[in-house]
Amino acid sequence: VYDIGSSGNPSQAKMLEILASTNGFSPLTIKLPTAIARLLLSITNKVDPEQTKTIDIDRVADLERVIEDFGFAPIEYEDGIRM
Question: CA geometry: angle at 62 spanning 41 and 7, to 5°?
Answer: 80
Question: Residue 24: its pLDDT value, please?
Answer: 92
Contacts of 27 (CB under 8 A, 6+ apart): 16, 20
- Rounded Cα distance between 31 and 23, Å, is 22
Question: Residue 80: its pLDDT value, please?
Answer: 84
Question: Residue 20: its pLDDT value, please?
Answer: 92
Can you give the pLDDT of all 83 residues of the chain as single tens digits? Answer: 777 777 777 777 888 888 999 999 988 888 888 888 888 888 888 888 787 777 777 777 788 888 889 888 788 888 888 87
